[in-house]
Amino acid sequence: MIQSDGIRPDQYEAIRALVYRKAGIALGGSKQALVQARLAKRLRKLELSTYDEYLEYLGGPDSDEEIVQLLDAISTNFTSFFREEKHFDLLTQIVREASLKNAHKFRLWCAAASTGEEPYTLSMVLQEAGPSITDLRILATDISTRVLKSCQAGSYDAQKFKNVPEPLQRRWWVREGGRLVAGEMLRKPLTFARMNLAEAPYAMKGPFDVIFCRNVMIYFDTDGRKKFVNEARRLLAPGGYLFVGSSESLAGIADGFTSVMPSVYRKGSP
């Protein structure tokens, strides 16, 4: 049976420090119950009975693998198709303008892809808006290996498609019973990879025309946010766009960017 009095404050503090060091995620004091509930499952799986044993295990030879599992267990993965829809209207406009200028190449990085609804939405929107873009690539990354498996599978319960217009469902998805599975053309521009935004400098070269990094910086402190924004600035092409979640502000840390609308920034001066 797992430590019956729950996780102690010193044990929670040790987990919190580790999660911050490894992923830049600043877990608040109020997350103790959630962390305990999620880690109880890991303890059961590993047949450990106390959080001290778990902390010891995290310092042991299997630590790299377990840290991935720990981050998987505590991260919040809520997402949906066409979440924060205004962003996709603006993206459509950006790609149409690029298409009018006869651009063939377009690069987008989706930096916290979660279970895939966001990168698949991006693939639909970009391909619908810019048929002249023949060289389209979308890099979709996340720290969690669990969610990346769902991205790769690209198979979702039909209930999740309420926000996806019918014609788009028919054009880009294949119905299999109660599920919709990403069709070949929808998958084509997408590459999925594990990447930790807390570990700068980031490995990719860029430049990207657009970066989506939505609803992940809320879990970072100011240093973590700054680290990401500096890397985004380095990796964006001049005039490239950075989209963040609508509840995330870059006030005070958006040097080198111009605000386009709330939660959208453009690299360079107006």
Ligand X SMILES: C[S@@+](CC[C@H](N)C(=O)[O-])C[C@H]1O[C@@H](n2cnc3c(N)ncnc32)[C@H](O)[C@@H]1O
Footprint (CB under 6 A) of ligand X, residues 136-155: 142-144, 147
CA 32 – CA 34 distance, rounded (Å): 5
Of the listed 8, 38, 146, 266, which one is catalytic? Answer: 38
182 lies in the site for ligand X, by CB under 6 A: no
- Judged by CB under 6 A, the residue of 7, 14, 15, 25 near ligand X is 25
Q: Any catalytic annotation for residue 44?
A: no
CA 51 – CA 3 distance, rounded (Å): 7
Tokens 């985004």 -> residue: 232
Q: Which is nearer to ligand X, 32 or 75 (CB)?
A: 75
- Both tokens assigned to 2: 């797992």
Q: Single out the residue of 150, 11, 147 nearest to residue 72, CA to CA.
A: 147
127 lies in the site for ligand X, by CB under 6 A: no
Q: Any catalytic annotation for residue 62?
A: no
DSSP 8-state secondary structure symbol assigned to residue 147:
H
| Count of C-beta atoms within a 10 Å radius of residue 190 | 23
Q: Which is nearer to ligand X, 63 or 76 (CB)?
A: 76
- Judged by CB under 6 A, the residue of 6, 38, 52, 77 near ligand X is 77
31 lies in the site for ligand X, by CB under 6 A: no
Element holding 33 (H helix, E strand):
helix 32-46
Residues that bind ligand X (CB under 6 A): 23-25, 75-79, 83, 112, 114, 118, 142-144, 147, 196-198, 214-216, 219, 245
